[in-house]
Structure 1
Amino acid sequence: MPAIERLSIVVPVYNEEENLPLLHQAIRSAMDVLPWPWEVIFVNDGSQDGSGKVLETLAFTDPVHVRVVDLRRNFGQTAAIAAGIDHATGDVIVLMDADLQNDPADIPMMLEKIQEGYDVVSGWRVHRQDAYLTRTLPSRIANELISWVTGVRLHDYGCTLKAYRREVLTGFKLYGEMHRFIPVYAHGVGARIVEVPVCHHPRRFGKAKYGLERTLKVILDLFTVKFLNSYANKPIYLFGGTGAVLIAISALLLVYLFVRRVFFGIGVLSSPFFQMATMIGILGFQSILMGLIAELLVRTYHESQGKPTYTVRRVIRNGEEERISINSH
């Protein structure tokens, strides 16, 4: 397993003026004892308060470690995280919130897990310091649903504090609220994932930026993630399978109608079940056609961009291990 060469910490920021100086100090206290060079990338996601000025001051007072990416407007947490990853130079990237609820002191422990051979280390807020009914309970339900749908069992998808090897973050774009699904994407390309308990502190300054409305967005994004993770390379399995089931239901309804016709003399064409069977059969046929079209699109996507349909963990050549991107042929 390649050693850590450089660490990047990505912190999306939205209206966290009072928290930023304390967060910077806490990060320095935790990172300065580590043997690797490190940087922290603050992404100002269109803050309305004085966060931009504070970040500018930090960038000038600690130019060795602090980089600031200033977005033109508020694009959302996922977009801010994507911007931070794009500007990071480390081979290991840690994501964390700017509200001081994540503790930078947990990062060294997470890096130890990376050195043990894991590609993703996910934080688990065992003792979460948030309102139970509006934050913690909906989060627990969402975590169970995501784990069940994706097959990637994690207790706390919503915890931003996670550490990644860079190679498992390449090959996909983040949209909507999909930053919480990065472990699912990483699992899809064979990443080794471990979950570790981390500290979670009550918010000291400011207020939470998200409420119950975020739960619906997460559920909708879950449909996309499930499709991309399970059927992106073979969409015919989803559309064709659905179509085959619908056609089978249509056939059973028609058999039922003809049996009634033969034994009870009940008309077939006048029955509402005949119209139902016809519509279901048409939908099944259309679903199969959609699957075939999707297959053509997938092949165009892979072949036009030279994207492989497999991922390679490592190559050993001439007795030495080559470090490669997880998307390499």
Structure 2
Amino acid sequence: MSVKNVKISVVLPAKNEEGAIGETILRIKALEIIDQILVVNDGSEDQTRQIALNAGAEVIDHPYSKGNGAAIKTGARNACGDVIIFMDADGQHDPQDIPRLLVKINEGYDLVVGARQSGSQASVGRGIANKLYNNLATYMSEHHVEDLTSGFRAVRAENFREFIYLLPNGFSYPTTSTMAFFRAGYSVTYVPIHAAKRIGKSHIHPMKDSIRFFLIIFKIATLYSPLKMFLPFSVLLFLLATSWYGYTLYEFKRFTNMSALLYTGSIMIFLMGLISEQITALMYKEK
């Protein structure tokens, strides 16, 4: 599929983004290659909707805030383009990078992610967290992952819609969609970008972010290959059980309850991983 012969939609999830959304839309329109600019107004309480309309975008309203992921899903369902560009409406993402993402789509990739370079993270803590996400995703998928959580991405619409039912309503839709594309065998690549400082107040909260960190870690595993996550823990418990059994056999000439507990735990964790692996395979079964 050549990008030159298809329609291109840009989806902008927006909640209280009156400070940046107008300029963002005008800069996208200035590219003169976009067929549709679709703003999903996620229960904004400011002038986001009116500013977006005045700038020439289509607007779909959520009657109340459902979350960034929910806005993405609404945008994906209503976009008319064969290729969809997802980007933030807060001024972080540069519309001038859109043609660079589309070049990769034109080369045959199904998902192109704008990978934030050094200095683009909102904070040191989030930078460290994203580094851990990337390393874990690389281990799980056996593909080099440069930026798992970037919200600036270009996708083939028909492929993305296959995984809408998997996407959460919160902020971790990039993680979910990337791992789903890997699991389904679609082609994924990265284009280096620089993310600017957002305009307006961030919707991220440190406490919720910390909880989300652990949830994303487990989601990465369950979306790709749970056994890869469970197996190391199972092996570790098995080695501990064997070591303890060797010690008690040498010292006391007997098999202890602790050894039995560790061996049982090892087997249970392995079986949980095996069952989870089968469930994951069913999630991606072709309809």
Instruction: Summarize deviations over 1:18-67 as a string: whole Å, max 9, x none.
Output: 3222222111111x2x2xx6111211111122223434x34xx84xxx33
| 1:15, distance to aligned residue in structure 2 (A) | 0.5
- Alignment coverage as a number of residue pairs: 277
| 1:283, distance to aligned residue in structure 2 (A) | 2.3
Matched, 1:144 2:107: no
2:21 & 2:239 partners in 1: Cα distance? 60
Residue matched to 1:178: 172
| 1:17, distance to aligned residue in structure 2 (A) | 1.7
Query: Residue 223 of structure 1 is aligned with which of 218, 228, 232?
Result: 218
Matched, 1:50 2:47: yes
| SS of corresponding position for 2:84 | strand
CA RMSD of aligned residues (A): 3.1
1:295 & 1:128 partners in 2: Cα distance? 37
Matched, 1:95 2:81: no
Matched, 1:17 2:8: no
Query: Does structure 2 retain, via aligned residues, the 8 Å contact 1:142–1:215?
Result: no
Q: 1:105/1:215 Cα in 2 relative to 1: closer, same or farther (>3 Å)?
A: farther
Instruction: Summarize deviations over 1:192-234 as a string: whole Å, max 9, x none.
Output: 222223343344x422222544254134212212222113xxx
| 1:86, distance to aligned residue in structure 2 (A) | 1.9
Residue matched to 1:164: 155
**TM-score, normalised via structure 2 length:** 0.81
Q: 1:153/1:298 Cα in 2 relative to 1: closer, same or farther (>3 Å)?
A: closer
Residue type of the partner of 1:206?
G
Instruction: Summarize deviations over 1:175-196 as a string: whole Å, max 9, x none.
Output: 1432221223212222322222
Residue matched to 1:118: 109
Residue matched to 2:35: 38
Residue type of the partner of 1:147?
N
1:222 & 1:185 partners in 2: Cα distance? 15
Query: Does structure 2 retain, via aligned residues, the 8 Å contact 1:143–1:154?
Result: no
Query: Residue 264 of structure 2 is aligned with which of 273, 282, 287?
Result: 282
Residue type of the partner of 1:28?
K
| 1:250, distance to aligned residue in structure 2 (A) | 2.8
| SS of corresponding position for 1:276 | helix
Query: Does structure 2 retain, via aligned residues, the 8 Å contact 1:140–1:155?
Result: no
Query: Does structure 1 retain, via aligned residues, the 8 Å contact 2:85–2:155?
Result: yes
2:267 & 2:125 partners in 1: Cα distance? 39
| 1:92, distance to aligned residue in structure 2 (A) | 0.8
List aligned pairs for 1:208-287, cutoff 5 A: 208-213=202-207, 214-231=209-226, 242-243=233-234, 246-247=237-238, 249-262=240-253, 268=254, 274-287=256-269
Percent of aligned pairs with the same residue? 28
Query: Does structure 1 retain, via aligned residues, the 8 Å contact 2:77–2:161?
Result: no
Residue type of the partner of 2:132?
L
| 1:81, distance to aligned residue in structure 2 (A) | 1.3
Instruction: Summarize deviations over 1:113-168 as a string: whole Å, max 9, x none.
Output: 211222222213336466xxxx2422332232122111143444343221111243
1:206 & 1:50 partners in 2: Cα distance? 13
| SS of corresponding position for 1:15 | coil
1:259 & 1:191 partners in 2: Cα distance? 54
Query: Does structure 2 retain, via aligned residues, the 8 Å contact 1:14–1:47?
Result: yes
Residue matched to 1:29: 30
Q: 1:222/1:168 Cα in 2 relative to 1: closer, same or farther (>3 Å)?
A: farther
